Amino acid sequence: MEKVLVTGGAGFIGSNFVRYLYRVRPNWQITVLDALTYAVNKENLKGLDEQRVSLVLGNICDQALVDKLIAETDAVVHFAAESHNDNSLQSPWPFVETNIIGTFRLIEAARKHGKRFHHISTDEVYGDLELSDPQKFTETTAYNPSSPYSSTKAGSDHLVRAWVRSFGLKATLSNCSNNYGPYQHVEKFIPRQVTEVLLGRQPKLYGQGQNVRDWIHTEDHSSAVLTILEKGKIGETYLIGANGEKNNKEVVELILEILGKDSQDYEHVNDRPGHDLRYAIDSTKLRSELGWQPKYTDFRAGLSDTIEWYKQNETWWKPQKAITEAKYQELGR
Ligand code: NAD
Ligand code: TDX
Protein backbone atom coordinates (compact mmCIF):
# COMPACT_ATOMS: atom_id res chain seq x y z
CA MET A 1 0.00 0.00 0.00
CA GLU A 2 1.53 3.28 -1.05
CA LYS A 3 -1.28 5.65 -1.91
CA VAL A 4 -4.01 6.40 0.59
CA LEU A 5 -7.05 8.62 0.24
CA VAL A 6 -8.10 10.05 3.62
CA THR A 7 -11.58 11.56 3.62
CA GLY A 8 -12.12 14.21 6.30
CA GLY A 9 -8.34 14.35 6.67
CA ALA A 10 -8.42 18.06 7.56
CA GLY A 11 -10.69 17.56 10.60
CA PHE A 12 -9.71 16.76 14.19
CA ILE A 13 -9.12 13.00 14.07
CA GLY A 14 -8.41 12.92 10.33
CA SER A 15 -5.60 15.52 10.51
CA ASN A 16 -4.07 13.78 13.53
CA PHE A 17 -4.19 10.53 11.51
CA VAL A 18 -2.57 12.20 8.49
CA ARG A 19 0.23 13.58 10.71
CA TYR A 20 0.70 10.15 12.29
CA LEU A 21 0.83 8.38 8.90
CA TYR A 22 3.21 11.02 7.55
CA ARG A 23 5.57 10.21 10.43
CA VAL A 24 5.36 6.43 10.54
CA ARG A 25 4.96 5.58 6.83
CA PRO A 26 7.39 7.98 5.12
CA ASN A 27 7.01 6.27 1.72
CA TRP A 28 3.25 6.66 1.47
CA GLN A 29 1.48 9.30 -0.63
CA ILE A 30 -1.52 10.78 1.16
CA THR A 31 -4.41 12.51 -0.57
CA VAL A 32 -6.89 14.29 1.68
CA LEU A 33 -10.43 14.79 0.37
CA ASP A 34 -12.17 17.35 2.55
CA ALA A 35 -14.99 19.87 2.13
CA LEU A 36 -13.38 22.13 4.78
CA THR A 37 -16.64 22.64 6.66
CA TYR A 38 -17.06 24.95 9.66
CA ALA A 39 -15.33 22.22 11.72
CA VAL A 40 -11.97 22.77 10.04
CA ASN A 41 -9.16 25.18 10.64
CA LYS A 42 -6.94 25.47 7.55
CA GLU A 43 -3.88 25.28 9.81
CA ASN A 44 -4.64 21.63 10.62
CA LEU A 45 -2.38 20.26 7.88
CA LYS A 46 0.16 23.08 7.97
CA GLY A 47 3.85 22.19 7.78
CA LEU A 48 3.42 18.89 5.89
CA ASP A 49 5.38 18.43 2.66
CA GLU A 50 2.96 18.98 -0.24
CA GLN A 51 4.88 16.38 -2.28
CA ARG A 52 3.62 13.77 0.16
CA VAL A 53 0.27 15.15 1.30
CA SER A 54 -2.10 16.77 -1.17
CA LEU A 55 -5.41 18.35 -0.26
CA VAL A 56 -8.38 18.08 -2.61
CA LEU A 57 -11.16 20.47 -1.66
CA GLY A 58 -14.37 18.60 -2.43
CA ASN A 59 -17.44 16.82 -1.15
CA ILE A 60 -17.70 13.07 -0.54
CA CYS A 61 -21.22 13.25 -2.01
CA ASP A 62 -19.74 14.20 -5.42
CA GLN A 63 -19.76 10.80 -7.19
CA ALA A 64 -17.64 11.87 -10.17
CA LEU A 65 -14.96 13.33 -7.91
CA VAL A 66 -14.79 10.36 -5.53
CA ASP A 67 -14.79 7.98 -8.49
CA LYS A 68 -11.76 9.72 -9.97
CA LEU A 69 -9.86 9.92 -6.68
CA ILE A 70 -10.57 6.33 -5.68
CA ALA A 71 -9.49 5.06 -9.11
CA GLU A 72 -6.08 6.64 -8.40
CA THR A 73 -5.54 5.30 -4.87
CA ASP A 74 -4.68 1.96 -3.24
CA ALA A 75 -6.87 2.41 -0.17
CA VAL A 76 -9.45 4.72 1.37
CA VAL A 77 -9.68 5.63 5.06
CA HIS A 78 -13.04 7.30 5.58
CA PHE A 79 -13.22 9.84 8.44
CA ALA A 80 -15.37 12.53 6.79
CA ALA A 81 -18.57 13.16 8.72
CA GLU A 82 -20.72 15.68 10.45
CA SER A 83 -19.59 14.84 13.97
CA HIS A 84 -21.27 16.92 16.67
CA ASN A 85 -24.33 15.57 18.50
CA ASP A 86 -25.61 19.00 19.58
CA ASN A 87 -25.62 20.21 15.96
CA SER A 88 -27.43 17.07 14.84
CA LEU A 89 -30.27 17.83 17.24
CA GLN A 90 -30.67 21.33 15.78
CA SER A 91 -30.16 20.51 12.12
CA PRO A 92 -30.12 16.81 11.17
CA TRP A 93 -30.05 17.05 7.34
CA PRO A 94 -26.28 17.62 6.85
CA PHE A 95 -25.75 14.50 8.97
CA VAL A 96 -28.01 12.40 6.75
CA GLU A 97 -26.40 13.81 3.63
CA THR A 98 -22.72 13.50 4.56
CA ASN A 99 -22.77 10.48 6.85
CA ILE A 100 -25.16 8.29 4.87
CA ILE A 101 -25.19 9.51 1.27
CA GLY A 102 -21.47 10.44 1.35
CA THR A 103 -20.55 6.97 2.61
CA PHE A 104 -22.74 5.43 -0.09
CA ARG A 105 -20.88 7.40 -2.81
CA LEU A 106 -17.51 6.27 -1.50
CA ILE A 107 -18.32 2.57 -1.21
CA GLU A 108 -19.87 2.57 -4.68
CA ALA A 109 -16.58 3.88 -6.09
CA ALA A 110 -14.47 1.56 -3.91
CA ARG A 111 -16.33 -1.52 -5.09
CA LYS A 112 -16.24 -0.42 -8.74
CA HIS A 113 -12.45 -0.05 -8.58
CA GLY A 114 -11.85 -2.98 -6.20
CA LYS A 115 -10.10 -0.81 -3.60
CA ARG A 116 -9.41 -1.45 0.10
CA PHE A 117 -11.75 0.61 2.31
CA HIS A 118 -11.64 1.37 6.02
CA HIS A 119 -14.73 2.91 7.61
CA ILE A 120 -14.39 5.03 10.76
CA SER A 121 -17.31 4.88 13.14
CA THR A 122 -18.22 5.52 16.75
CA ASP A 123 -19.23 3.63 19.88
CA GLU A 124 -22.41 5.75 19.92
CA VAL A 125 -24.05 3.38 17.41
CA TYR A 126 -24.64 1.02 20.36
CA GLY A 127 -26.69 3.53 22.36
CA ASP A 128 -25.78 3.82 26.03
CA LEU A 129 -25.13 1.70 29.13
CA GLU A 130 -26.35 2.07 32.70
CA LEU A 131 -23.77 3.52 35.10
CA SER A 132 -23.77 0.28 37.10
CA ASP A 133 -23.71 -2.11 34.11
CA PRO A 134 -20.64 -4.37 34.35
CA GLN A 135 -20.81 -4.98 30.57
CA LYS A 136 -18.99 -2.87 28.00
CA PHE A 137 -19.77 -2.58 24.28
CA THR A 138 -18.30 -5.38 22.15
CA GLU A 139 -18.40 -6.06 18.40
CA THR A 140 -21.59 -8.11 18.93
CA THR A 141 -23.57 -5.52 20.93
CA ALA A 142 -26.89 -4.70 19.21
CA TYR A 143 -27.18 -1.34 17.46
CA ASN A 144 -29.41 1.15 19.34
CA PRO A 145 -28.41 4.73 18.40
CA SER A 146 -30.03 7.68 20.20
CA SER A 147 -29.30 10.87 18.25
CA PRO A 148 -29.51 11.98 14.61
CA TYR A 149 -25.67 11.89 14.60
CA SER A 150 -25.33 8.36 15.94
CA SER A 151 -28.20 7.01 13.86
CA THR A 152 -26.60 8.30 10.65
CA LYS A 153 -23.28 6.74 11.68
CA ALA A 154 -25.15 3.48 12.36
CA GLY A 155 -26.75 3.73 8.91
CA SER A 156 -23.35 4.17 7.30
CA ASP A 157 -21.96 1.12 9.16
CA HIS A 158 -24.85 -0.99 7.84
CA LEU A 159 -24.20 0.18 4.28
CA VAL A 160 -20.52 -0.79 4.50
CA ARG A 161 -21.34 -4.26 5.89
CA ALA A 162 -23.98 -4.84 3.21
CA TRP A 163 -21.47 -3.86 0.50
CA VAL A 164 -18.98 -6.37 1.92
CA ARG A 165 -21.52 -9.17 1.93
CA SER A 166 -23.37 -8.43 -1.31
CA PHE A 167 -20.61 -6.99 -3.49
CA GLY A 168 -17.37 -8.25 -1.94
CA LEU A 169 -16.21 -4.76 -0.91
CA LYS A 170 -12.76 -5.14 0.70
CA ALA A 171 -13.71 -3.23 3.83
CA THR A 172 -12.99 -3.19 7.55
CA LEU A 173 -14.80 -1.07 10.15
CA SER A 174 -13.84 0.42 13.50
CA ASN A 175 -15.95 1.98 16.25
CA CYS A 176 -13.98 4.18 18.59
CA SER A 177 -14.79 5.88 21.88
CA ASN A 178 -14.45 9.64 22.65
CA ASN A 179 -11.20 11.14 21.35
CA TYR A 180 -9.23 13.96 22.91
CA GLY A 181 -6.03 15.71 21.83
CA PRO A 182 -4.82 18.68 19.74
CA TYR A 183 -6.82 20.22 16.86
CA GLN A 184 -10.27 19.37 18.33
CA HIS A 185 -12.96 21.98 17.63
CA VAL A 186 -14.00 24.16 20.59
CA GLU A 187 -17.61 22.94 20.27
CA LYS A 188 -16.53 19.60 21.80
CA PHE A 189 -16.48 18.98 25.56
CA ILE A 190 -12.78 19.08 26.52
CA PRO A 191 -11.69 21.98 24.25
CA ARG A 192 -14.79 23.95 25.22
CA GLN A 193 -14.07 23.68 28.94
CA VAL A 194 -10.32 24.30 28.58
CA THR A 195 -10.87 27.44 26.50
CA GLU A 196 -13.62 28.68 28.83
CA VAL A 197 -11.17 28.51 31.73
CA LEU A 198 -8.38 30.11 29.66
CA LEU A 199 -10.78 33.01 28.99
CA GLY A 200 -11.50 33.35 32.71
CA ARG A 201 -14.99 31.81 32.55
CA GLN A 202 -16.59 28.78 34.18
CA PRO A 203 -16.76 25.33 32.49
CA LYS A 204 -20.30 24.29 31.51
CA LEU A 205 -21.50 20.90 32.65
CA TYR A 206 -24.64 19.46 31.03
CA GLY A 207 -27.10 18.36 33.75
CA GLN A 208 -25.41 16.88 36.80
CA GLY A 209 -22.30 15.74 34.89
CA GLN A 210 -22.82 12.08 35.76
CA ASN A 211 -22.58 10.96 32.11
CA VAL A 212 -19.57 8.75 31.44
CA ARG A 213 -17.37 8.84 28.34
CA ASP A 214 -14.52 6.41 27.58
CA TRP A 215 -11.65 8.75 26.64
CA ILE A 216 -8.87 7.79 24.23
CA HIS A 217 -6.03 9.98 22.97
CA THR A 218 -6.42 10.62 19.26
CA GLU A 219 -2.91 9.28 18.55
CA ASP A 220 -3.99 5.91 19.95
CA HIS A 221 -6.99 6.02 17.61
CA SER A 222 -4.57 6.67 14.72
CA SER A 223 -2.30 3.74 15.59
CA ALA A 224 -5.33 1.46 15.91
CA VAL A 225 -6.69 2.50 12.50
CA LEU A 226 -3.32 1.89 10.81
CA THR A 227 -3.09 -1.51 12.50
CA ILE A 228 -6.53 -2.45 11.17
CA LEU A 229 -5.77 -1.08 7.71
CA GLU A 230 -2.64 -3.23 7.48
CA LYS A 231 -3.59 -6.33 9.46
CA GLY A 232 -7.38 -6.34 9.79
CA LYS A 233 -9.49 -9.13 8.31
CA ILE A 234 -11.83 -8.06 5.50
CA GLY A 235 -15.44 -7.77 6.64
CA GLU A 236 -14.49 -7.49 10.31
CA THR A 237 -15.33 -4.76 12.81
CA TYR A 238 -12.90 -3.75 15.57
CA LEU A 239 -13.79 -1.69 18.64
CA ILE A 240 -11.14 0.87 19.63
CA GLY A 241 -10.85 1.98 23.26
CA ALA A 242 -8.24 2.49 25.97
CA ASN A 243 -10.15 1.87 29.24
CA GLY A 244 -10.55 5.62 29.86
CA GLU A 245 -13.97 5.82 31.54
CA LYS A 246 -14.54 9.11 33.39
CA ASN A 247 -17.69 11.03 34.19
CA ASN A 248 -17.96 14.59 32.88
CA LYS A 249 -17.78 16.11 36.35
CA GLU A 250 -14.46 14.35 37.01
CA VAL A 251 -13.04 15.65 33.73
CA VAL A 252 -14.10 19.24 34.40
CA GLU A 253 -12.61 19.06 37.91
CA LEU A 254 -9.35 17.71 36.51
CA ILE A 255 -9.16 20.47 33.88
CA LEU A 256 -9.68 23.12 36.58
CA GLU A 257 -7.08 21.49 38.82
CA ILE A 258 -4.46 21.22 36.03
CA LEU A 259 -5.04 24.90 35.21
CA GLY A 260 -4.49 25.82 38.86
CA LYS A 261 -8.12 26.82 39.57
CA ASP A 262 -10.67 25.84 42.21
CA SER A 263 -11.88 22.41 41.05
CA GLN A 264 -15.49 23.26 42.02
CA ASP A 265 -15.63 26.49 40.01
CA TYR A 266 -17.95 25.29 37.20
CA GLU A 267 -21.61 25.83 36.33
CA HIS A 268 -24.46 23.45 35.51
CA VAL A 269 -26.28 24.25 32.26
CA ASN A 270 -29.25 22.72 30.39
CA ASP A 271 -28.85 19.05 29.62
CA ARG A 272 -28.67 17.68 26.05
CA PRO A 273 -32.01 16.11 24.95
CA GLY A 274 -31.70 12.31 24.84
CA HIS A 275 -28.23 12.56 26.43
CA ASP A 276 -26.54 9.13 26.39
CA LEU A 277 -25.61 8.09 29.92
CA ARG A 278 -22.49 5.98 29.50
CA TYR A 279 -20.21 4.57 26.81
CA ALA A 280 -17.59 1.90 27.51
CA ILE A 281 -15.54 -0.11 25.04
CA ASP A 282 -14.14 -3.61 25.30
CA SER A 283 -11.24 -3.62 22.81
CA THR A 284 -10.10 -7.21 23.50
CA LYS A 285 -10.55 -8.28 19.86
CA LEU A 286 -8.26 -5.56 18.49
CA ARG A 287 -5.66 -6.22 21.18
CA SER A 288 -5.67 -10.01 21.02
CA GLU A 289 -6.14 -10.58 17.26
CA LEU A 290 -4.08 -7.68 15.88
CA GLY A 291 -1.71 -7.00 18.79
CA TRP A 292 -2.63 -3.31 19.22
CA GLN A 293 -1.89 -1.47 22.48
CA PRO A 294 -2.65 2.15 23.42
CA LYS A 295 0.28 4.39 24.38
CA TYR A 296 -1.54 7.13 26.31
CA THR A 297 -2.81 5.16 29.29
CA ASP A 298 -2.33 8.03 31.79
CA PHE A 299 -5.38 10.26 31.19
CA ARG A 300 -4.09 13.05 33.42
CA ALA A 301 -0.82 13.24 31.47
CA GLY A 302 -2.59 13.16 28.08
CA LEU A 303 -5.06 15.81 29.24
CA SER A 304 -2.22 18.02 30.55
CA ASP A 305 -0.47 17.82 27.13
CA THR A 306 -3.75 18.69 25.41
CA ILE A 307 -4.37 21.65 27.72
CA GLU A 308 -0.84 22.86 27.02
CA TRP A 309 -1.54 22.66 23.26
CA TYR A 310 -4.63 24.90 23.65
CA LYS A 311 -2.61 27.32 25.80
CA GLN A 312 0.08 27.54 23.09
CA ASN A 313 -2.34 27.75 20.15
CA GLU A 314 -4.78 30.48 21.03
CA THR A 315 -4.70 31.87 17.46
CA TRP A 316 -5.90 28.45 16.27
CA TRP A 317 -9.06 28.35 18.45
CA LYS A 318 -9.90 32.00 19.12
CA PRO A 319 -11.68 32.73 15.80
CA GLN A 320 -14.20 29.88 16.35
CA LYS A 321 -14.78 30.49 20.04
CA ALA A 322 -17.26 33.39 19.97
CA ILE A 323 -19.29 31.83 17.12
CA THR A 324 -19.51 28.53 19.01
CA GLU A 325 -20.50 30.12 22.32
CA ALA A 326 -23.20 32.19 20.60
CA LYS A 327 -24.76 28.92 19.36
CA TYR A 328 -24.62 27.40 22.85
CA GLN A 329 -26.09 30.51 24.42
CA GLU A 330 -29.20 30.16 22.23
CA LEU A 331 -29.64 26.63 23.61
CA GLY A 332 -29.07 27.64 27.24
CA ARG A 333 -26.06 25.36 27.28
P1 NAD B 1 -14.55 16.68 12.66
O2 NAD B 1 -15.89 17.32 12.58
O3 NAD B 1 -13.44 17.38 13.38
O4 NAD B 1 -14.02 16.39 11.21
C5 NAD B 1 -14.84 15.96 10.16
C6 NAD B 1 -14.15 16.25 8.84
O7 NAD B 1 -14.99 15.82 7.76
C8 NAD B 1 -13.87 17.74 8.62
O9 NAD B 1 -12.58 17.89 8.10
C10 NAD B 1 -14.93 18.15 7.60
O11 NAD B 1 -14.56 19.26 6.79
C12 NAD B 1 -15.05 16.86 6.79
N13 NAD B 1 -16.34 16.78 6.09
C14 NAD B 1 -17.58 16.93 6.62
N15 NAD B 1 -18.51 16.78 5.66
C16 NAD B 1 -17.84 16.51 4.51
C17 NAD B 1 -18.26 16.22 3.17
N18 NAD B 1 -19.55 16.19 2.83
N19 NAD B 1 -17.31 15.98 2.24
C20 NAD B 1 -15.99 16.01 2.58
N21 NAD B 1 -15.55 16.27 3.82
C22 NAD B 1 -16.47 16.51 4.78
O23 NAD B 1 -14.82 15.25 13.27
P24 NAD B 1 -13.87 14.25 14.06
O25 NAD B 1 -14.18 14.34 15.50
O26 NAD B 1 -12.49 14.39 13.57
O27 NAD B 1 -14.47 12.86 13.55
C28 NAD B 1 -13.90 12.15 12.45
C29 NAD B 1 -14.56 10.80 12.31
O30 NAD B 1 -14.35 10.04 13.49
C31 NAD B 1 -16.06 10.85 12.10
O32 NAD B 1 -16.42 9.85 11.18
C33 NAD B 1 -16.62 10.56 13.48
O34 NAD B 1 -17.90 9.97 13.38
C35 NAD B 1 -15.60 9.58 14.00
N36 NAD B 1 -15.46 9.48 15.45
C37 NAD B 1 -15.23 10.59 16.20
C38 NAD B 1 -15.02 10.48 17.57
C39 NAD B 1 -14.72 11.68 18.43
O40 NAD B 1 -14.56 11.54 19.64
N41 NAD B 1 -14.58 12.89 17.88
C42 NAD B 1 -15.09 9.22 18.18
C43 NAD B 1 -15.35 8.09 17.37
C44 NAD B 1 -15.53 8.24 16.02
O1 TDX C 1 -20.27 21.95 27.09
C2 TDX C 1 -20.46 20.73 27.19
N3 TDX C 1 -20.78 20.23 28.43
C4 TDX C 1 -20.99 18.90 28.64
O5 TDX C 1 -21.27 18.49 29.78
C6 TDX C 1 -20.35 19.83 26.07
C7 TDX C 1 -20.01 20.36 24.70
C8 TDX C 1 -20.56 18.49 26.30
N9 TDX C 1 -20.89 18.03 27.53
C10 TDX C 1 -21.04 16.58 27.75
C11 TDX C 1 -21.90 15.84 26.76
C12 TDX C 1 -21.24 14.46 26.74
O13 TDX C 1 -21.71 13.69 27.82
O14 TDX C 1 -19.72 16.02 27.60
C15 TDX C 1 -19.76 14.74 26.96
C16 TDX C 1 -18.95 14.79 25.68
O17 TDX C 1 -19.62 15.64 24.77
P18 TDX C 1 -19.12 15.85 23.26
O19 TDX C 1 -17.72 16.34 23.25
O20 TDX C 1 -20.15 16.64 22.54
O21 TDX C 1 -19.03 14.34 22.73
P22 TDX C 1 -20.11 13.17 22.56
O23 TDX C 1 -21.48 13.67 22.39
O24 TDX C 1 -19.84 12.16 23.63
O25 TDX C 1 -19.63 12.60 21.13
C26 TDX C 1 -18.21 12.47 20.82
O27 TDX C 1 -17.76 11.17 20.96
C28 TDX C 1 -18.22 10.21 20.04
C29 TDX C 1 -17.92 12.98 19.41
O30 TDX C 1 -18.37 14.32 19.27
C31 TDX C 1 -18.54 12.08 18.38
O32 TDX C 1 -18.18 12.50 17.07
C33 TDX C 1 -18.05 10.67 18.61
O34 TDX C 1 -18.67 9.79 17.75
Tell me, in angstroms, the distance from the centre of ligand 2 to residue 95's CA.
Answer: 16
Residue 225 domain boundaries: 3-180+216-240
Strand partners for 214? 245
Q: Which ligand is nearest to the CA of 221?
A: 1
CA distance 145 to 3: 34
- Domain assignment of residue 83, yes or no: yes
Does residue 277 sit within a domain? no
> Which residue from 149, 252, 241 is spatially nearest to 191, judged by alpha carbons?
252
pLDDT tens by residue, 282-308: 999 999 999 999 999 999 999 999 999
- Contact at 8 Å (CB) between 199 and 277? no
pLDDT of residue 16: 98
Q: Is residue 250 part of a domain?
A: no
The region that residue 297 occupies, defined by phi over 0 for left and psi between -120 and 50 for alpha, beta otherwise, is: alpha
Q: How many angstroms does the Cα of residue 2 sit away from the middle of ligand 1? A: 23
- 146: CATH: 3.40.50.720
211 lines ligand 2 (CB under 6 A): yes
Query: Residue 279 CA: which ligand is closest?
Result: 2
Residue 164 lies in a domain: yes
Ligand 1-lining residues (CB < 6 angstroms): 8, 10-14, 34-37, 39-40, 59-61, 79-83, 98, 102, 120, 122, 153, 176, 178-179, 185
Ligand 2 atom nearest the C-alpha of 188 is 19
What are 239-272's pLDDT values in tens digits?
Answer: 999 999 999 999 999 999 999 999 999 999 999 9
Q: Whose CA is nearest to atom 13 of ligand 1?
A: 80
Chain-wide mean pLDDT for the chain?
Answer: 97
Nearest alpha carbon, ligand 1 atom 8: 11
Atom of ligand 1 at shortest range from CA of 183:
3
> Has residue 331 been placed in a domain?
no
The DSSP letter of residue 133 is: -
pLDDT digits (tens, 9 = 90+) for 36-75: 999 999 899 999 999 999 999 999 999 999 999 999 999 9
- Domain tally for the chain? 1
Pocket test for ligand 1, best of 40, 83, 228 (most atoms within 8 A of CB): 83
Helices (H), 207-271: 218-231, 248-258
In-domain check, residue 324: no
Q: Are strands 212-214 and 245-247 parallel, antiparallel or unpaired?
A: antiparallel
270 in any annotated domain: no
pLDDT at 205 > cutoff 80: yes
Ligand 1 atom with the smallest distance to the CA of 97 is 18
Q: Is 36 contained in some domain? A: yes
